Amino acid sequence: MLKIGLLGAGRIGNVHAKAITSHAASKLVAVSDVNQEAAGKLATQYGAQASTSEAIIANSDIDAVLIATSTDTHSDLIEAATRAGKAVLCEKPVDLSLERALACRKIAAATGRPVMIGFNRRFDPNFAALKAAVDRGEIGRAELLSVTSFDPGPPPVSYIKVSGGLFRDMMIHDFDMASWIMGGLPQTVRAVASSIVDPEIGAAGDVDTAVVTLEYADGRIAVIKNSRRAVYGYDQRVELLGSEGLLSAGNMIENTVVKSTKDGVVSAKPEFFFLERYMRAYAAEWAAFVGAVTGSGVVPVSLDDGVNALALAEAATRSAKSGMAVEVATVM
């Protein structure tokens, strides 16, 4: 039985607590949060102890920690936990700063402890099936990838201000999807972005609408589209054109009822947001982490993957600001 400490009892911490306690081979031992009330509430809900992040990391009875704290704490906690001998699953992104993430990778790697980054979309059954099909060569050589990721509505501007910006906070998932599906990093990143959903987001120095193209050294191309507003729900689609066909993965809809009348044909909306769409993915992600830590020790989404996605976010941020293409090698 893997004994787990959960750091962070916020939105995503609650999701992970459920995954940890639902898995037959993991036990939630302790929960921390700087908001002690939140830690206490979540710990009580699942029969765990409320604690502090420092005490959890120092506790030799705890085998692994799940870091679900605010982004600006991730690198420090990864370093402290791996130095204390823990296996780590840390939420995305690794850090707000690529430089800091690179330093963290060096320290964590020296400990030899497994560190997995929470790119949950890889564990979505639809995207996993698409990836398996391309890996089996079912559409020949993958040549043009299109990733669409629209949120149902923008978060509060207070969140935007500490998020690191759309590329580091939101498109980071899509950068990882592109690297995962295309099997490596692109050579060049070009970004176009604006704040047309909410001018307040622009006033806070961020964007809410963006298109990024990734150009690979061998001529393959990926296009990522992000918006903070899709009034019909969480729009999560992937399309991959290959030399021998097309793979596409669409949205999960709220129900399968289709109403057909003389006025038209109407079906349900996409599932509302990430808590609905990706609940199965979070459980599968946790199962993959437990399997890796208790098995081979090789996690399916590495700290390198986290750093690579952050490098693409950094390149896109620079490209959107300058209007110029950015070579990925220049940001690493």
Ligand X SMILES: NC(=O)c1ccc[n+]([C@@H]2O[C@H](COP(=O)([O-])OP(=O)(O)OC[C@H]3O[C@@H](n4cnc5c(N)ncnc54)[C@H](O)[C@@H]3O)[C@@H](O)[C@H]2O)c1
* Interacting residue ranges for ligand X, rule: CB under 6 A: 7-13, 32-35, 38, 53, 68-71, 73, 91-92, 118, 120, 169, 274
* Alpha-helix runs per DSSP H in 137-237: 157-162, 166-169, 171-182, 199-203
Quote the CA–CA distance of 248 and 206 in Å, as a whole number.
30
Quote the CA–CA distance of 91 and 16 in Å, as a whole number.
10
Closest separation in Å from C-beta 60 to ligand X: 19
Between 19 and 145, name the residue whose CB sits nearer to ligand X. 19
In the block, residue with structure tokens 């969140």: 159
Closest separation in Å from C-beta 72 to ligand X: 8
3-state secondary structure of 321: helix
Closest separation in Å from C-beta 317 to ligand X: 16
Closest separation in Å from C-beta 240 to ligand X: 22
Tokens of 19: 């995954």
Between 70 and 330, name the residue whose CB sits nearer to ligand X. 70
Beta bridge partners of 306: none
Reference 128, options 289, 292, 235, 280; nearest CA is 280
Report which residue's Cβ sits closest to ligand X: 10
Between 148 and 190, name the residue whose CB sits nearer to ligand X. 148
Closest separation in Å from C-beta 14 to ligand X: 8
Residue 197 contacts residue 170 (beta carbons within 8 Å): no
Closest separation in Å from C-beta 323 to ligand X: 28
Between 34 and 196, name the residue whose CB sits nearer to ligand X. 34
Between 26 and 163, name the residue whose CB sits nearer to ligand X. 163
Between 90 and 207, name the residue whose CB sits nearer to ligand X. 90
Tokens of 12: 């995503």
Residue 91 contacts residue 274 (beta carbons within 8 Å): no
Q: Tell me: cis bond preceding 125? Omega within 30 of 0 counts.
A: no
